[in-house]
Structure 1
Amino acid sequence: MMKLKYQMIIQWSEEDKCFLVGFPDFPGQTWRTHGDNYQEAVNNGIEALESLVIAYQTTGETLPQPTFNQAA
């Protein structure tokens, strides 16, 4: 598994009845994948993020800078 430092947002969607997974550091990737439960969403999110990075690298696109939060 790649050591990625990108944010992964997981949020329950009442409309979709599942957890949605998004990557705010990547343009257009507000909701990239989902899971029926939280753990499935995490696993699918990791896989989707790895695929997204590979796609950027394959096409020669520059990866966006990860957003870092400062601890208090």
Structure 2
Amino acid sequence: MDREFTVIIEQDEEGYFIADVPELKGCHTQAKSLDTLIERIKEAIQLCLEVYDEKQTLTHLVGVQKVRV
């Protein structure tokens, strides 16, 4: 059964793409291209799920909000 996760993608000042999975604490990776990033985050998700403690609760991303200060 396939599971679906939200992936937040950002780009740093050096041009690297950074992916973070909010539902899986500590699950993130980076790559120089988006294609490589997607491959790597899929691998990272699989690894995180293998070691994720069943007692840990998966979070659920509610949304992204811009805040002006």
Q: Which amino acid aligns with 2:22?
A: P
Q: CA deviation at 1:60?
A: 3.6
Bigger helix share: 1
Q: How much is the aligned-residue C-alpha RMSD, in angstroms?
A: 2.2
Compute the TM-score of the two structures, normalised by the length of structure 1.
0.67
- Name the aligned partner's letter for residue 47 of structure 1: E
Q: Please list every run of 5 or more consecutive structure 2 residues that lacks an aligned counterpart in the other structure.
A: 64-69
The alpha carbon displacement at 1:42 in A equals 0.5
Listed as ranges, the gaps of 5+ residues in structure 1 are none
CA distance, structure 2, for counterparts of residue 37 and residue 65 of structure 1: 28
Q: Which of 20, 30, 38 is the equivalent residue of 1:22?
A: 20
2:8 corresponds to 1:9: yes
Q: Does the 8 Å CA contact 1:19/1:41 hold for their aligned counterparts? A: yes
Structure 1: which 4+ aligned runs deviate by more than 6 Å? none
Deviation at residue 10 of structure 1 after TM alignment: 1.6
1:26 Cα deviation after fit: 2.2
Instruction: Indicate the structure (1 or 2) with the bigger Cα radius of gyration.
Output: 2
Q: TM-score, normalised by structure 2?
A: 0.69
What displacement does 1:20 show?
0.2
Number of equivalences: 63
